[in-house]
Structure 1
């Protein structure tokens, strides 16, 4: 029963993330200027970056990396019901396999709690989808470096580098795989 509830929660999180990413056109997105270009930030580069590698299971050796613009990355930190949560979604529209990463991190200061599935109030969650794979972190570690926050169009927006290692479970067909990766969420420039 607990497994069904957890899978329902993760599927709900995944649906929410995908709906959020696709609900706004580039014209509506506040992180893109009127010319449909990301804001210029010469100190940090124009794009966020990511690099992930899988080992084990039927996806052994699959690796993805890329530079992606502001309108495909969303990072939000909020406190609700006494829980400090940092949520990150990344959608690489340039990948032919429609790679999406969704991470909900429970924060303790500026460091996230480890991945787990037992208690979503004290453990971080991660879902990675591509091709026909829907993978959920069962356990693993996360580390944030270079954490900062800045004001962007009246909102407080975090930026950071996230490194992670996790044991992932694919839903159908069921198999496990290890993933390691890094994501750089750069500061935005309202410039």
Structure 2
């Protein structure tokens, strides 16, 4: 006899896609309203794809000293994204046929990483980044092992590329080597990771639909 007690509606696994889309929309709005200034060009008006960091949009004041009217949109975007990825990490174990404790650790670590990231706009930005990064990398490494064991090789390779970009960001941030290139590398990293999360959501949906 089949039980529906623990059955999950597959559509729930697609909610992160909506969240990611909303994040992009709100961040574009935030970039439009950003007063201006970057570390490379403090007095330049507007948001620069080449010189501004995504985190610049979260601050109370823009780098040029003006009140940052973009911050409300950026913070809404961040909250939506983190909540969406919390949901993704929560349901990600559903992607795998064989369940184990490592997947539980992966799920918890991934969710903790996103909960901590919610406070990115606080005064302890660097601590938030490093702490969230530790939990995030832990979740990623376990996810890679599980993807390999489940023969999701394309997802595995994509994930490893994301981790490579992430570690590159961290290395540049800490050493300041090629620091002038970091804003662009940050955005490439972000796009790579978001596309990976989209694929994970789609595969989780397909997995639940087929069972």
- Compute the TM-score of the two structures, normalised by the length of structure 1: 0.29
Kindly name which structure, 1 or 2, has the bigger radius of gyration based on alpha carbons: 2
Counting helix residues as a fraction of each chain, which structure ranks higher? Answer: 2
| Higher RCO, Cα 8 Å, sep 6+ | 2
Q: Which has the higher strand share?
A: 1
TM-score between both structures, scaled by the size of structure 2 = 0.27
